[in-house]
Chain A
Amino acid sequence: MRPESEEQLAEVVRDTTRPLHIQGGGTRPVGRVVDGDVLNASGLSGISVYEPGALTLVAAAGTPMAEINAALETEHQMLSFEPMDHRALLGTSGTPTLGGVVAGNVSGPRRVSAVGACRDSVLGVRFVDGSGQVVKNGGRVMKNVTGYDLSKLMCGAYGTLGVLSEVALKVLPRPDAEATLTVPGLNEAQAVAAMAAALKSPFEVTGAAYDPAVGVQLRVEGLSASVTYRAGKLQALMAPFGAAGITDDKAASAAIWRAIRDVEGLKDHAVVVRLSIKPSALPELMSSAANLLFDQHSKAAGFDVLADWGGGLVWFGASARQLEICAGVMPDRDGPAGDVGGQILLEYLQSYCEMEGGHATLIKGPESLRRTVHAFQPEAAPVAALTTGLRKRFDPRGILNPGLME
């Protein structure tokens, strides 16, 4: 099913008697596996409003991100939340769409700066709820408190409360210049301290990431002289942590942050889990999770971890071998070693978040694993009651991506 207008989309949802698996470009099979008829939203496509002077853009949900980025490029503007492209990490093809990005609240490295989440850029939405009713919320202005903010509710709901048909976004001027500082050779405790120091400074860091193999990377953006000034100040600030190198070539710096954004470093891993945690918790999380890899021979080096958002966004990657070792923790559990290992890793990270705050989501894993785990962090009872209540009201028949967020 591939409706080409909002009316057709509403009709499809209204008339269906079976669960629907909603798809944009199909680049991001995240969450519990949905068994249903594929509803492809890519037929709702096209930018309807773009006002560079008002920093707003309105487009149909199926519009390819590439088309939106190209339009913005001509006016020297950008999406501040620089959404991840999942294709490299997940080994998928297809075209990422606006609706998919918004449904997943996909936010990139700039999340760490003042207003950098996808949800912060969504000004309004139109969607079709589970009864086939078209609903609009928000608008196309930057400040709007007229009624409840269902636009935020839709952002990150993975289509489970409604199928997006149109999204209005706030866009931003593209910075003239950017530079990346790299502080090499830091362990996770040093890295978190270095990133905190940078983010506490007034130098407007717009990216703070950590890769154990590379070190800490910090980004500054803006007018050219200002970037030079702030990179210099940050270099001095980083001195206690090590000698920071500066990449001030714009294209080279942009390539670094594209790779961080797309989590390219974990593309060969079988299972990848994404955590949102308190940044300073990173070292303890890493060392405690490493215990899962303890086998009788030696304590392994730990999982492969990449961190962004100053340590607040953590990507855990597990190789097939690591999953096998993990599976050894619970030898009685049935199933292929890879799946059992994935279950154990995910359950461990989710119980860590339950105790320490935050949440863990399975982003990459075989379909068999995605059928046997809570891909999303289980919720405390009072929150789960609200979630269930909202699902019943917005999708009374339980047909929109049922179970995906469980």
Chain B
Amino acid sequence: MEMPTPNPAVLSRRGRIVARLREVLPADAVIDDPTETRAYECDGLTAYRCAPLAAVLPASTAEVAAALKICHDEGVPVVPRGSGTSLAGGALPTADSVILGVARLRDVLETDYDNRFIRVQTGRTNLSVTGAVEADGFFYAPDPSSQLACAIAGNIAMNSGGAHCLKYGVTTNNLLGVTMVQMDGTIVEIGGAHMDAGGLDLLGLICGSEGQLGVVTEATLRILPKPEGARPVLMGYDSNEVAGQVVSDIIKAGVLPVAIEFMDRPCIRACEAFAKAGYPDCEALLIVEVEGSPDEIDEQLGLIKQIARRHNPVELREAKDADEAGRIWLGRKSAFGAMGQINDYMCLDGTIPVSELPRVLRRIGEMSKDYGLDVANVFHAGDGNMHPLILFDANKPGDLELCEAMGADILKLCVEVGGCLTGEHGVGIEKRDLMTVQFAPADLEAQMRVKDVFDPDWLLNPAKVFPLAASAGRRAA
């Protein structure tokens, strides 16, 4: 993966930059010892590593502003970092960059049940936001698989989703307001406790901008009352095509499940070996979950089972209690861990129109044969957000490159059928050079103009999202 050449002028001023940061931050909040900065050399995309110039861990919005202002004055690139769980290299440093971590910004600032929001500092983890309101019957809806570790700051940067967004939406649909610090240290407040922020939708623009427009330090998040209950049903089919048709039929029938998850045979086998959830050995497995009171759940599952039966399932199992529900979800939730046990893998997250599922799965199967790499598919079928896991051997020379080439082909296929490169992981460095597959130069130009407004010197997370060639002129200016 090509990264820009570090700016020698910045590297040569390292001592002075660190000293200036120490003037505005507590001593332990500025990390420049090379053995310690190595902790920040990569995120969840571990194939690429580079230690930063230094890392700073401010504990307030004012400290973030002070640190950014110095970096701005010194012309130092800044890479914002939540918990470092990005699978797309969104927090990968360059040698001349300062990592700005939000890990010390963890407080709940305000909880308001009557108005159904919580205001938090963004270093707080996704799951602990729900944790703060759970006892009172509320939850925060977006639930990425990494929710135990990932920070709200990163969720906002990547507009994270999760299994339950078919009903509740992704981060951008649940974000009401932010406090954000721009690269030059300017603090802006956008939105708040009211439901629609005024003026231009800057909130919508910031969410999913991969930390390139500013560092979000505080967020007002919408919280929702917990449903009375939820229950999944599991169904197995002989072919991916049939399972894809079932998904489409359920959606058309007017029942909107809270989640529809899809796993193919390689994934079912791996999960079964790992988690022993009692999954049937079949081509395709669906987990469909609905919410409500016990009677409401019965009614919805009744309709869903009717549809399922019409397509001759090899297995149709409804959870009778919490224990059985847990077992149905167990395999799905351990999918990534299970795959990690057998192999190195690369996880893609291209999204396609739901109607294209069968065709795309078939083509991925063909590619798997052509490249000689196994692929397991596990994904959010209800919204077409695929997660093909390409298995490779990191110790085998050339295997990573082969895997990346196949990944690129799969993503091109997603775009070709009317979908997109990434549904919830973000572009980062991983898909940066594929952006031209989805966007014409004018489309990218329009997006880059937005960065020109928020960060005219292109110092924030500069080598991400846009192909290096497309952003070269701006980054050099």
* Residue of B190, B435, B451, B453 with highest tally of chain A CB at under 10 A: B453
- How far, in whole Å, are A291 and B143 apart by their CA atoms in the complex? 46
Considering residues B115, B168, B444, which has the most beta carbons from chain A within 10 angstroms of its beta carbon? Answer: B115
- What are the interface flags for A150-175 relative to B under an 8 Å C-beta threshold, 1 for contact and 0 otherwise? 11110111000100000000001111
Q: Does B132 contact A (CB under 8 A)?
A: no
A148 touches B209 (CB 8 A): yes
Residue A135 contacts which of B252, B431, B443 (CB distance < 8 angstroms)?
B443
Question: How does the 8 Å CB contact mask read for A173-200 relative to B, with 1 for contact and 0 for none?
Answer: 1111000000000000000110010011
- Nearest CB in chain B to that of A75: its residue: B252
Does B170 lie within 8 Å of A156, measured CB to CB?
no
Binds A, one of B38-46, B99-107, B221-229: B221-229
User: A202–B227 contact, CB under 8 A?
Assistant: yes
B297 to chain A, nearest CB (A): 10
Q: Given A141-B383, A199-B116, A279-B115, are A150 and B227 neighbors across the interface (CB < 8 Å)?
A: no
Check if B201 sits within 8 Å of A148, measured CB to CB: no
Interface residues of A in 184-234 (CB under 8 A from B): 192-193, 196, 199-202, 204, 222-223, 225-226, 229
Smallest CB-CB separation from B380: which chain A residue?
A: A143
- Which of A139, A222, A226 has most B Cβ within 10 Å? A139
B296 & A141 in contact (Cβ 8 Å cutoff): no
Contacts of B141 in A (CB 8 A): 114
| Chain B interface size range | 35 or more
- Give the interface segment out of A52-60, A247-255, A333-341: A52-60
Segment of B10-18, B70-78, B320-328, B414-422 in the binding face:
B414-422
The yes or no answer to A343 lying at the interface (CB within 8 A) is no
Residues of A within 8 A of B255 (CB): 173, 223
| A58 and chain B: residue at smallest CB distance | B418
A327 to chain B, nearest CB (A): 26
Residue from B200, B300, B380, B426 having most chain A Cβ neighbours under 10 A: B200
A200, B116: Cβ atoms under 8 Å?
Answer: yes
CB within 8 Å of B: which of A347-406? 357-359, 361, 376-377, 379-380, 382-383, 385-387, 389-390, 393-394, 405
Q: A114-B168, A137-B446, A161-B200 are in contact. Are A359 and B251 (CB under 8 A)?
A: no
Q: Is the CB of B226 within 8 A of A202?
A: yes
Cα distance, A312 to B191, chains bound together (Å): 13
Number of chain A residues close to chain B: CB under 8 A: 86
Instruction: Kindly supply a per-residue 1/0 record for chain A positions 307-346, scoring 1 wherever the CB is within 8 Å of any chain B CB and 0 otherwise.
Output: 0010011000000000000000000000000000000000
* B79 contacts partner chain A, Cβ-Cβ < 8 Å: no
Closest 9 CB pairs of A and B: A152-B204, A359-B198, A143-B423, A53-B248, A173-B254, A389-B453, A142-B383, A278-B193, A393-B449
Q: What are 24 contact pairs spanning A and B, CB under 8 A?
A: A136-B443, A140-B353, A140-B418, A142-B165, A143-B385, A144-B351, A145-B426, A149-B205, A149-B209, A150-B205, A173-B253, A174-B254, A202-B225, A278-B115, A279-B114, A312-B115, A358-B198, A359-B197, A359-B199, A386-B202, A389-B453, A390-B450, A394-B446, A394-B449
| Given pairs A114-B224, A115-B167, 19 additional interface contacts (CB within 8 A) | A54-B384, A114-B141, A135-B446, A140-B418, A141-B353, A143-B385, A147-B427, A147-B435, A147-B443, A153-B202, A153-B204, A173-B253, A196-B113, A196-B114, A202-B227, A229-B295, A361-B198, A376-B198, A382-B182
